[in-house]
Amino acid sequence: MDAEKTELPSTDEEWRECLTEDEYRILREAGTEPRFSGEYVDHKEDGTYTCAGCGAVLFDSETKFGSGTGWPSFYDAKEGAVEFHEDRSAGMVRTEVVCANCGGHLGHVFDDGPEPTGKRYCINSVSLNFEGED
What's residue 117's pLDDT? 98
* pLDDT, block means (10 residues), the chain with 134 residues: 66 95 97 96 97 97 97 98 94 96 97 97 98 88
Measured CA to CA, the distance from residue 82 to residue 7 in angstroms comes to: 19
The correct CATH number of 12-132 out of 2.170.150.20, 3.40.50.620, 3.40.30.10, 3.90.550.50 is: 2.170.150.20
Backbone angles phi, psi at 56, to 5 degrees: -65, 140
Measured CA to CA, the distance from residue 34 to residue 36 in angstroms comes to: 6
User: Any catalytic annotation for residue 54?
Assistant: no
Other Cβ atoms less than 10 A from the Cβ of 23: the count is 21
| CB distance 113 to 120 below 8 Å | yes
What's residue 6's pLDDT? 60
Name the active-site residue from 51, 54, 102, 122.
Answer: 122
C-alpha 54, offset from chain centre: 11
Other Cβ atoms less than 10 A from the Cβ of 12: the count is 10
Q: Report DSSP state, residue 42.
A: T
